[in-house]
């Protein structure tokens, strides 16, 4: 399928996990891919693999984010899709009684403020074109909470969900769709790192997933490609769950 033929797509967190799988999927679907990551080595590798463009940027920095979308536009002539996906896992003990203010603020910065900045700087290009699709990575925990005490992480993802709904409604008449992607647990370095610290947590999670396994990043990328494409032309402001049934169990 080449549903994104010649579309200019920006992917943040492109060097690893869900972002990397989406870079590959977008390229398979014919897109021009602008790969954004803080990590120069992995971001460059991702871009080289698909003949895309790498822009090194910290998505919490407004000047960096503005430069990302300006570069995409100046290089390829449009900004059709923004997949605002970069994020970090919760601090070690993320219960409300233990998480310090600095750790809380850092998670909000990387997981939520970054999405605000990326939407803010992508939308003006999409307005000029009269169309665009934005997919923001939230999480299943934004919909159902988490029994594993992730207060700063869950709150950040709840913010992404609410912001996506708000923007989806606000910009619908301008042809810009905005959706929140809500993955369940996905087998990526972020999850592996979390479970390495607390192996029992992996087992506890697994029993709650009706499909009985963690997702592969490519399965999440398939959903992102759908939301980014015209196949999802009547979907905006949604919370798009790709969670193996966990939120329905």
- Taking the complex as a whole, the smallest distance from the CB of residue 128 to ligand NAI amounts, in Å, to 25
Catalytic residue among 76, 116, 125, 153: 153
Q: Is 25 exposed, middle or buried (0-12, 13-18, 19+ CB in 10 A)?
A: buried
- Taking the complex as a whole, the smallest distance from the CB of residue 14 to ligand NAI amounts, in Å, to 7
E strand map for the chain = 8-12, 32-37, 53-56, 81-84, 132-137, 176-183, 239-242
Q: Is 116 a catalytic residue?
A: no
- Taking the complex as a whole, the smallest distance from the CB of residue 64 to ligand NAI amounts, in Å, to 8
Token duo for residue 233: 């032309």
229 binds ligand NAI (CB under 6 A): no
CA-only gyration radius of the chain, Å: 17
Beta bridge partners of 37: 56
Task: Kindly list the strands in the beta sheet with 239-242, ordered across the sheet, starting from the edge strand earlier in the chain.
Answer: 53-56, 32-37, 8-12, 81-84, 132-137, 176-183, 239-242
68 contacts 10 by C-beta, under 8 angstroms: yes
The number of residues in the chain equals: 249
Q: Which residue, 127 or 146, has its beta carbon nearer to ligand NAI? A: 146
Q: According to CB under 6 A, which one of 137, 150, 179, 239 is a site residue for ligand NAI? A: 137
- Taking the complex as a whole, the smallest distance from the CB of residue 57 to ligand NAI amounts, in Å, to 6
Q: How many residues bind ligand NAI (CB under 6 A)?
A: 30
Q: According to CB under 6 A, which one of 53, 103, 162, 190 is a site residue for ligand NAI? A: 190
Map the footprint of ligand NAI across residues 35-94, applying CB under 6 A.
37-39, 42, 57-60, 85-88
Which spans of this chain sit near ligand NAI (rule: CB under 6 A)?
Answer: 12-13, 15-19, 37-39, 42, 57-60, 85-88, 110-111, 137, 139, 183, 185-186, 188-191
């Amino acid at each position: 399928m080449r549903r994104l033929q010649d579309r200019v797509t920006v992917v943040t967190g492109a060097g690893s996990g869900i972002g990397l799988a989406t870079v590959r999927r977008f390229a398979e679907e014919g897109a021009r891919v602008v790969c954004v990551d803080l990590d120069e080595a992995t971001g460059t590798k991702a871009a080289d693999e698909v003949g895309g463009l790498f822009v090194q940027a910290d998505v919490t920095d407004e000047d960096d984010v503005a430069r990302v979308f300006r570069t995409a536009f100046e290089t390829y002539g449009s900004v059709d899709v923004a997949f605002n996906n970069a994020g970090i896992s919760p601090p070690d003990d993320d219960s409300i009684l233990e998480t310090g203010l600095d750790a809380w603020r850092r998670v909000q910065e990387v997981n939520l403020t970054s999405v605000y900045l990326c939407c803010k700087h992508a939308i003006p290009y999409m307005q000029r074109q009269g169309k665009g699709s934005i997919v923001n990575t939230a999480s299943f925990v934004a919909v159902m909470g988490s029994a594993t005490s992730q207060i700063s992480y869950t709150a950040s993802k709840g913010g992404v969900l609410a912001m996506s709904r708000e923007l989806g409604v606000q910009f619908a008449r301008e042809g810009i769709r905005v959706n929140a992607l809500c993955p369940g647990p996905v087998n990526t370095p972020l999850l592996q790192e979390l479970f390495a610290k607390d192996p029992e947590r992996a087992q506890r999670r697994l029993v709650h997933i009706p499909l009985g396994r963690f997702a592969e990043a490519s399965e999440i990328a398939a959903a992102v490609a759908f939301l980014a494409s015209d196949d999802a032309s009547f979907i905006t402001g949604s919370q798009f769950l790709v969670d193996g049934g966990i939120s329905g169990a």
